Structures are given as structure tokens and as C-alpha cells.
Structure 1
Amino acid sequence: MPRIACKFGGTSVASAAQIRKVRAIVEEDPRRSVVVVSAPGKRDPKEAKITDLLYLCQEMAEMGTDFSEPFGIVRERFLEIERELGVKTDVGAALDACAEDLRRGVGRDYVASRGECFNAIIIAKLLGAELVDPLETIVISGSGRVDPVSYELLAEKLKDETKRYVLPGFYGRGPDGDVKTFSRGGSDITGAIAARAVKALVYENWTDVSGLLMADPRIVERPRPLLEVTYRELRELSYMGASVMHDEATLPVREAGIPINIRNTNEPSDPGTRIVPELSEDVKLSSVVAGIAGKKGFSMLCLEKTLMNKEVGFTHRLLGAFQRRGINVEHCPSSIDGINVIVERESLKGCTDELIDDIKRSLQPERVHLVDDLALIAVVGEGMSRTIGIAARVFGCLGQAEVNVRVINQGASELNIIVGVAPEDYERAVATLYAEFVSSQSRSLAPPAA
């Protein structure tokens, strides 16, 4: 039987009531046999995070002070979940062992992993599932990346297709055999590793939203959720500031061609967003754009020099000035006699004058000026390369909205068009592009998000 790997985030497992929803979702489909869980999230904004409390315990233990008060809050949180679910587990003993470990001295990775560990003990018991220890099955390199041997180890552990398994997310074992957490992506990465290990039909990522949105809800009122988006589109939207899964959390399943389905634990009937290697035929025919994303905080250095294109190594020397100062170059649009270098504004702090002097001395441009503050916006979509008139619509609608475009950039893949605008025009430009492209297509088959 094909299997589905499910990951439930912090809001999905924040309380006994939420965990009951998790049980209903898992039991609704017998293919959901591999379940990855996070630590309990906040139940209200004022509540302290479990991980922060555990960090505090570690710091107090290192200073030789009594950490019983913050640890008591952690203990009661898990014992309360256990009581309200009506299950008897070993979580009390695990909490006692953790307190002893804190007194003896432990690393931050061990402390950070305990919330997931304690929650998994309870949820495994509730689901009648086998608890899988990431220390035995997931190997993390010194750089924080998953070691490919993890797929084999986990596949062997999860091989019985008639059983249900629960894994705590976020951690595994490092090169020294001790607990090591993922540097970015957290439990999302564990879910992706598990999905790849069992060759899952789909990797379901359950959270508190019904999928990815086609624009920033802080700018566009009730933006539509996406029904389907490709991994390439997701990468572009993520780079441009959209709130999506981290790259490292998608890589294991992307390499294996396994789709991801972003789902809402509180609205399990919503279809969510499918992240796929290639769009389905009906989506290809009915849509062009996946979303509008952008962010502020860029600067652009503009150079002009006649016959610049005839100087071998001109661009190499220009970018070398940035490289020597450890400044990452984001975009580099150019013309025959001009070139612009776009970087994050923060990266220029304290070295702008020195950088410009270096460039003037080594390249002798006729003109150099800095656009100190710039916002970038991307219109992203697989269908753009096969659709006539996309660029005309982008600039036409921005012109009607009286938004001045300072820079234009489009990669060879034609997966996006990036425009640079003044920060004060950013919100108006995003809203205008959303209205132009999203209202006229059906990439989202759902109503606007509430």
C-alpha cells in the first residue's frame, strides 16, 4: 500500500484538543502511517515557548542556580497534555531524566530537541504507534545537513507497512553521536526525510493555514491560496520573501520527485497547496502566474563606461570588489555601456565609500552612483515563458498606477520578472500586480483566504 508521510507543526500539536484533531486526520486515511511531530506551539501570544524555557533551564543550570521554576512549567505542560488525552506514557520519566541531564550539563542541541521528544512520546501512545528514535535513524553532518545514509537507516526502521510510526522532528545525531538539530527548517526537514525514506505517495505538511498564499496578506486583503505550485516557482517566491517552506526542508522530496501538500489541521477538508515537480495539465492551461512576492532593503550601485563591453574582465573586476568585502551580489542587470549591481542594503554598512573608491580606481567608470534604498518585486510563474504579453501587462499596470520602475531583470528561464521600485511605491506595486494577474486566472481554485 502506498504510504503518506505527515508532519504536524507546533500549532497543530499545541494542546490536547489540537492533538485530537491530529488523531482524527491520521486515522481518517490508513495510508498516513508515518507521522512527524513538533514541540507544542504557543496556545496564546503571551505564553513562553517550550524551547525558550528549556534554554533558560540550561543557562541557569550552567550558573549553578535552581531551574525548578521554568522546568516546572515545561513539566506541567506535557503532563497536562497527557492527562487531558487520557493516556499513560513514559513522558514523566523522560522529564525526570532531562532534569538530571541538565544538572550534569548538556549542550544546547540536546535541550532544543526535548520538546519534540516529549511530545512524540505522548502522541505515539495516543495513536498506538511505534516511537522511532531519530538518534538511531537520522544522521546530521557537521554543517547541519542531512547525511544520505539517513534514508537507508530510516527505511529499514519504517519498513513494516502495516504499522504506524511516530518520529520527533528537528533532530538526529551528529558526527560525534550526540544530539544535533537541523540549523534551518526544523521538523519540516525530518518530515521530508521520512517521506523520501518510505518513498511516500505525498508528504503532507500540516499547519494552521490552508496552503500558500499568492501575495503577502499584510499588503493584499484576503489573497487567494495557491492550489498548485512547482518546486522551481516555490524557490523563486521564497527567495523574494514569501513565507514558505525553507529550501532545505524541500530538498529531500524534491530530489525524489515526491509532491508536498500544505494542509490546515483546523480545516482538514481544505485541499491546501500542492508543491509538485511539474504542474498538472489543467493548471498549465488555466494559469500563468503562481504569485507576487517581494521585499525591501536593497541598494543598487550603477556604473556607466563607454565601450565597457570591449574590456575583457570588466564585470569580473567589478564583482571582485564586492567579493573582497564579503558582500553577496543579488542581481546584476546590464547594458552595453552600463551595469547595475544589486545587494542587500545592510551588507553595505560601513564600507560604501571604500567600495566606490575601489571601483573608481580599478575600473575608471565615467559615472557611478548609488541608489541607496530599493524594493524588489517578482512576478513568478511557469507559464510566463509561453505566454505573449506578460511584460507588457507588468509595466502597463504599474504605469497606470503611477509606479516608476527603476530596474528590470529577467532570468534565462523566464520563470519570473523582477522589477525594482522606490520603497514608498512597494505596497502599491504589489497590490497592483496582484490585481492584474491573479484576478484574471484560476491557478487558485479556492476562494480568497479568510
Structure 2
Amino acid sequence: MKTHTVEKIGGTSMSDYAAVRDNIIFHKQSRKEEGYQRIFVVSAYGGVTDLLLEHKKSDKAGVFASFAGAEDSSVWRDKMTRLRARLMSINYELFGQTPLCQLADSFIGDRLDEAEQTLNDLESVCQHGHFDLSDHLMTVREMMASLGEAHSAWNMAQLLKRDGINAVYVDLTGWNAEKHLSLDERIEAAFKDVDLANCLPIATGYAHCTEGLMQTFDRGYSEMVFSRIAVLTDAREAIIHKEYHLSSADPRLVGVDNAVPIGRTNYDVADQLANLGMEAIHPKAGKGLRQRCLPLRVMNTFEPDHAGTLITAEYVSEKPCVEIIAGRQNVYALEFFDQDMMGSMSRYGRELLGIIERFKVPLISKDNNANTLTHYMASNLKTIKRLQKAIQEQYPGCEMSLKKVAMVSAIGSDMQVPGILAQTVNALASAKISVLALQQSMRQVDIQFIVSNDDYDLAVQSLHRSLIEIHNHGEAICAA
């Protein structure tokens, strides 16, 4: 019988140790008859990965981005000094002026020293014409990322020991490892001798492996590590602890009192959310859970008595309904018009997608008619302009237009409700929002609306009011 859970704690939650201890660890650990039977996978403290790599939203350079892009080495060295000061500050906030704080400083200080020496050595070697820095940047990126998770996991294990829990630090970062292992091999080796009945493993959210997690997942790597640990240890349930519920819409837009936890949904809906950048879990990380029929629960760290939202493979809402209104702003719609496309849609589609892939631009959606293809993409304007230029060079006779838009989606595990399309369009029209484009697939799990970027907030509010708030769902759309 499956007895243990694998639980991931996000960076914002990790930054509040008291809440993690009282609402997550001790909240369930009081049931002594269950023993421990839990594995925790932790992210870096909130904001730390931004300092290590680059800011997730603004792209402001951290240590890695400064090392990769700055001609003056003093830039990344200054970033490293600031990073060190921040990590030591976090240690002091957690441990105070105690011997344990000195141990914490020593642990992360040693790793920072080694990382800085590695960057120095690499910078020196790459001054020689036979070595190209770009060949090593992904390795450097992974090394820097690993520091954040090692720091938070080590600290949490020590804090829990101090507070009476037999916590064990599980280091998956491969730091100073003698040989390279695949992700599965590293996880299996790390947990081979762990007695879940008598200890509480605190594992790093980063794992060094031959596959190179960041090449596929970039900053979503911790979700893949979490997922594989759950699958390989044959967990009863996978749980993600976040600072918010997986709700029917962003509470900041529709109001805290109007947003309601979803309660139950499926991996199909989770995929749609991930496509919009509102991840419950990365689709590739969710694949293993889905294939093993392993349920995933998303919980709010600060509401420990709420069951959260349970995501399973087979769930379909008892009655057809919209479960969530989600979307994203600052999407670039690149419209490609060529009358020679008629009868050659497949070829044009393949070639355009090939160019988009070459520029590594994330594609959110696309639509077409007889002679027009529109791709909706999430990237920066500079990259989109380069992409547009490359397409124009390959198709000099085409006409293209570029527009910054917002995408808003109504999503549900079963939305086969007669008249729902008319209802959604009427809701937007009543708010005087012009629909620039829309899509509804035959599977009826989502309807996508393209609207002006400035109309995003109002569109979310209008659809939520029309499709969800009218039902007065209570504590959850469907109780988990």
C-alpha cells in the first residue's frame, strides 16, 4: 500500500519558515500514528534565483547573465558580492546570532567560493582563442541555479532538526560528485537508504543530471525533480505548496472574495494553464504523474486546513461548467498574409514554425484561414522583430502585421454547455470589449479570446462575473 507523499514547497513559501513549519510540517506531523512518510522538495528562497540567474519578469541580470553578457568582469563579481550578502542576510534572519548561523554561512560560503573560482578559471581559459565561452554557459547556468536550492534545503533541514524533527538534507545537486548520473539514477541513489518512517528528507529542487534539466525546463526544473521523485518512490500523492490557491481567477483582478479555489480538475486543464504561463505544473513534469495515475494536489501554505485543488487524470466535472478564467498580457500576434498560400497551407505552416523554432520563441496559439496565418507568441519585442525580418526575407511577397495583444481563456474539464460561446461573447460586448479573434476547439475544454492588451483586466473580470460568480460555488467549485 502506498503510504508516503512527495511535497514541493515554492520559493515564496520557503521565505516564511514559521508558516512552513507550523502549517505544513507540524500541521500533519501531529498525527504520530502516520510516522513521517513524507518527502519535501524545496525551491530557493523567494528572489534568490533572480540574483543567481536573471530576474524572471524584468530580465535584470543576476550573476549568470552578467557573466554571460558583460565585457567587464567587475560586473559579475559585483553581482556575486551582492548575492553573498543576501544569502548571509537570509541566514541571519533564520538562525540569529548562533553557532548554527555560523554553520549555515560556512556551508553556502564554501559553495559560493567554489562557484566564483570556477567562473574565474573559465573566464581565464576562454581568453584563449581555442575556447568559446558559449560552449560552457549552460553548465554555468545549472551550477549557479543549484546554489539556491542547496542553500534553502540545507537551512530547512537544520531548522527542523533544531525544532525537534529528524530532518535529513538530501543533496541532488551533484556538487563535487565523482560521476555523472541520469536524473532517475541520481534520485534512486539519493533515496536508496532513506527510511521514510523515521526521518524527513529535505531534497534540493535542483538535480544535476546528464540530461541537463535546464535545457528543457529552464527555471521550471524543480517541478521535474519533484515529479520524478514522486514517480520513482511510488508516492501516494504529490503535493505542491504555494502562497495562493489554484483559483477560478487571479484574486488581484476579480477580488479575493470573488475568486474561489477550483477544488478538482484534471491534467488537461493543467496543460491549458501552463500554456498561458499560469502553471500548476509543467506539462512534461505532469506527464509522469499522469501516466502513473498519481494525483497532484495544489495547496495554499497559509490556509493549511483547506484541502486545496486535486488534479487527476480522469476527473471530469459532474456538470459542464467553466472552472477558471486565465490568460496573459503582452502576447505578440504576428499576422502573415500571402495569397499564394491557398492550397499550400501545410507547407507554409511547417516553414513558418521552423523559423519560429529557430528563434526559440514560445508559441502559445495560432489560427488560420485560406491565406492567412497568425501566430500568438510570448517573447520580447527585439526577438519578435528579428523573427519578423527572417520571415520577410524568406517570403518577400507576403504582408505582415504585428500587434501586442492579450489572451484570455475560459477553461474547464467539460465545457459542453449549449450557448456558452454566445454567453462569453455577450459578457465581453457588455463591457465594451472588442474581440479581435477567438478559438474554441471541438474538445470543448477552453475558449480563447484575443483582446486589446489594455482590455485584459476588464476581460477577466467580465468573464469571471458572467461564468463563475453567478453560481455561488462557496469554498470550492468542486470540493477536493
TM-score (norm 1): 0.76
Aligned to 2:51, the other structure's residue is in SS state helix
User: Residue 298 of structure 1 aligns with which residue?
Assistant: 332
Q: Is the 8 A contact 2:63 2:79 kept in 1?
A: no
Alpha-carbon offset, residue 268 of structure 1: 0.8
Residue-by-residue CA offset, 1:174-231 (whole Å, 9 max, x unaligned)? 3399x9997322444333232222222211212222x212223343222222112211
Alpha-carbon offset, residue 122 of structure 1: 0.9
User: Residue 119 of structure 1 aligns with which residue?
Assistant: 155
- Could you tell me which runs of 5 or more consecutive residues in structure 2 were left unpaired when the two chains were aligned: 54-61, 68-72, 120-142
Equivalences for 1:66-77 in 2 at 5 Å?
71=84, 74-75=87-88, 77=90
Alpha-carbon offset, residue 80 of structure 1: 5.2
User: Residue 17 of structure 1 aligns with which residue?
Assistant: 18
User: Residue 372 of structure 1 aligns with which residue?
Assistant: 403
Aligned to 1:245, the other structure's residue is in SS state coil
- 1:342 is the counterpart of 2:341: no
Q: Structure 2 residue aligned with 1:393, among 423, 436, 460?
A: 423
Residue-by-residue CA offset, 1:37-72 (whole Å, 9 max, x unaligned)? 536635xxxxx7487389769989998899888646
Alpha-carbon offset, residue 271 of structure 1: 1.8
- 1:238 is the counterpart of 2:239: no
Q: Cα gap change, 1:374/1:82 in structure 2, threshold over 3 Å: closer, same or farther?
A: closer
Q: Distance in 1 between matches of 2:464 and 2:411?
A: 11
Q: Is the 8 A contact 1:259 1:274 kept in 2?
A: yes
Aligned to 1:35, the other structure's residue is in SS state strand
User: Residue 283 of structure 2 aligns with which residue?
Assistant: 247
Corresponding letter in the other structure for 1:419: F
Q: Is the 8 A contact 1:288 1:441 kept in 2?
A: no
Q: Distance in 2 between matches of 1:428 and 1:342?
A: 24
Q: Is the 8 A contact 1:169 1:188 kept in 2?
A: no
Corresponding letter in the other structure for 2:207: G
- 1:163 is the counterpart of 2:198: yes
The more displaced of 212-221 and 342-351 is 342-351
Q: Distance in 1 between matches of 2:432 and 2:407?
A: 16
Alpha-carbon offset, residue 431 of structure 1: 1.7
Identity of aligned residues (%): 18
Aligned to 1:343, the other structure's residue is in SS state strand
Q: Structure 2 residue aligned with 1:101, among 102, 107, 114?
A: 114
Q: Distance in 2 between matches of 1:129 and 1:445?
A: 34
Alpha-carbon offset, residue 156 of structure 1: 2.8
Q: Distance in 2 between matches of 1:96 and 1:236?
A: 41
Q: Distance in 1 between matches of 2:80 and 2:407?
A: 47
- Could you tell me which runs of 5 or more consecutive residues in structure 1 were left unpaired when the two chains were aligned: 43-47
Alpha-carbon offset, residue 432 of structure 1: 1.6
The more displaced of 76-85 and 260-269 is 76-85
- 1:288 is the counterpart of 2:321: yes
Q: Structure 2 residue aligned with 1:199, among 234, 242, 250?
A: 234
Corresponding letter in the other structure for 1:339: T
Q: Is the 8 A contact 1:298 1:376 kept in 2?
A: no
Corresponding letter in the other structure for 1:35: I
TM-score (norm 2): 0.72
User: Residue 413 of structure 1 aligns with which residue?
Assistant: 443
Aligned residues: 422
Q: Cα gap change, 1:435/1:68 in structure 2, threshold over 3 Å: closer, same or farther?
A: closer
Q: Structure 1 residue aligned with 2:294, among 240, 254, 258?
A: 258
Corresponding letter in the other structure for 1:403: I
Residue-by-residue CA offset, 1:155-189 (whole Å, 9 max, x unaligned)? 5344x342233233222233399x99973224443
Q: Distance in 2 between matches of 1:440 and 1:271?
A: 23
Q: Is the 8 A contact 1:204 1:262 kept in 2?
A: yes
Alpha-carbon offset, residue 288 of structure 1: 1.3
Q: Distance in 1 between matches of 2:27 and 2:52?
A: 30
User: Residue 313 of structure 2 aligns with which residue?
Assistant: 277
Q: Is the 8 A contact 1:173 1:180 kept in 2?
A: no
Q: Cα gap change, 1:435/1:62 in structure 2, threshold over 3 Å: closer, same or farther?
A: closer
Q: Distance in 2 between matches of 1:25 and 1:290?
A: 29
Q: Distance in 2 between matches of 1:413 and 1:272?
A: 26
Q: Distance in 1 between matches of 2:45 and 2:154?
A: 13
User: Residue 51 of structure 2 aligns with which residue?
Assistant: 52
Aligned to 2:114, the other structure's residue is in SS state helix
